[in-house]
């Protein structure tokens, strides 16, 4: 039987930005965490000098076209193992639905006075606020999330710090629009994502990063943050024809809290 129903937009009714209305709660959150708030109450993590015009914030409904453009830019995704290419619109929309639910849960926890551990990193969209126009430009993403696979941690759970977790693996990834590459921006953004959020707020003590051996920029980035390649996790991936084909050598880098 064929369905005659029109597929509904998963983002129908969702407000563009997640915001916190209560000034009192915003103040409380900023006292206990590195989170700052814009005039309209949108939370964000600022980048340090000389990148003050950049910040990490939650995904907005209006980011969907930029997310699609990034994830469908062959110059960006040729060096990334996933997601599917081209990325269907519905995948971007469903990702945002999941993310919005996560951030709502996180801020409900804050409202109860529980600031750590944070169960997720909602601050994964990197933006630039243009000095002259005030316009906020979508620059890319720095994500920290659970690896979907069955893989176990390489190092034991740190019982003093993250016993509450299961043995799944935290994974970090970065992807910026090409015009922003090689200016130190990913280094600054990953520094904030790890040192301001994933480690102190989420309590991550082991983080994995994966990239192709041909991706010098990515490998340099992770090594700069103390990630060490694990030769046992080497692999090989056949790249789909849609992404240019060929075979890439996979590398996995692990960071641990020392």
Q: Which residues contact ligand COA by CB under 6 A?
A: 76, 79-80, 173-176, 181-187, 211, 215-218, 220-221, 224
Closest distance of CB 182 from ligand COA, Å: 4
Closest distance of CB 173 from ligand COA, Å: 4
Closest distance of CB 189 from ligand COA, Å: 8
Report the distance separating Cα 75 and Cα 72, nearest Å: 9
Residue nearest to ligand COA (CB): 217
Chain centre distance of CA 134: 24
Closest distance of CB 225 from ligand COA, Å: 10
Exposed, middle or buried, 158 (CB in 10 Å: 0-12/13-18/19+)? middle
Tokens of 86: 């081209």
In the bound state with ligand COA, the residue whose beta carbon lies nearer, of 35 and 209, is: 209
Residue whose structure tokens are 């995904």? 59
In the bound state with ligand COA, the residue whose beta carbon lies nearer, of 27 and 181, is: 181
Residue whose structure tokens are 């907005």? 60
Report the distance separating Cα 156 and Cα 33, nearest Å: 27
Closest distance of CB 213 from ligand COA, Å: 12
Q: Which residues have a Cβ under 8 Å from the Cβ of 77 and sit 6 or more positions away?
A: 71, 85, 175, 243
In the bound state with ligand COA, the residue whose beta carbon lies nearer, of 112 and 182, is: 182
Tokens of 200: 């102190």
Closest distance of CB 13 from ligand COA, Å: 33
In the bound state with ligand COA, the residue whose beta carbon lies nearer, of 69 and 111, is: 69
In the bound state with ligand COA, the residue whose beta carbon lies nearer, of 20 and 77, is: 77
Exposed, middle or buried, 60 (CB in 10 Å: 0-12/13-18/19+)? buried
In the bound state with ligand COA, the residue whose beta carbon lies nearer, of 43 and 173, is: 173
Report the distance separating Cα 30 and Cα 218, nearest Å: 32
């Amino acid at each position: 039987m064929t369905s005659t129903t029109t597929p509904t937009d998963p983002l129908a009714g969702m407000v563009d930005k997640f915001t916190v209305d209560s000034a009192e709660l915003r103040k409380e959150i900023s006292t206990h965490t590195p989170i700052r708030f814009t005039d309209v109450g949108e939370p964000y993590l600022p980048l340090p000098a000389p990148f003050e015009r950049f910040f990490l914030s939650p995904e907005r409904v209006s980011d969907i076209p930029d997310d699609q453009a990034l994830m469908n830019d062959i110059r960006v995704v040729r060096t990334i193992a996933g997601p599917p290419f081209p990325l269907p619109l519905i995948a971007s929309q469903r990702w945002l639905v999941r993310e919005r639910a996560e951030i709502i849960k996180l801020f409900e926890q804050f409202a109860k006075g529980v600031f750590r551990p944070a169960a997720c990193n909602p601050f994964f969209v990197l933006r630039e606020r243009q000095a002259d126009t005030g316009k906020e430009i979508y620059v890319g993403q720095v994500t920290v999330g659970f690896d979907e696979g069955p893989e176990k941690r390489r190092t034991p759970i740190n019982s003093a710090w993250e016993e509450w977790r299961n043995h799944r693996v935290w994974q970090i990834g970065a992807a910026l629009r090409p015009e922003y590459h090689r200016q130190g921006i990913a280094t600054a953004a990953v520094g904030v994502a790890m040192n301001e959020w994933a480690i102190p707020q989420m309590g991550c003590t082991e983080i994995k990063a994966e990239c192709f051996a041909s991706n010098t920029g990515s490998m340099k980035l992770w090594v700069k943050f103390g990630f060490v390649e694990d030769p046992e996790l080497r692999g090989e991936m056949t790249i789909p024809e849609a992404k240019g084909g060929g075979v890439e050598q996979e590398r996995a880098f692990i960071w641990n809290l020392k």
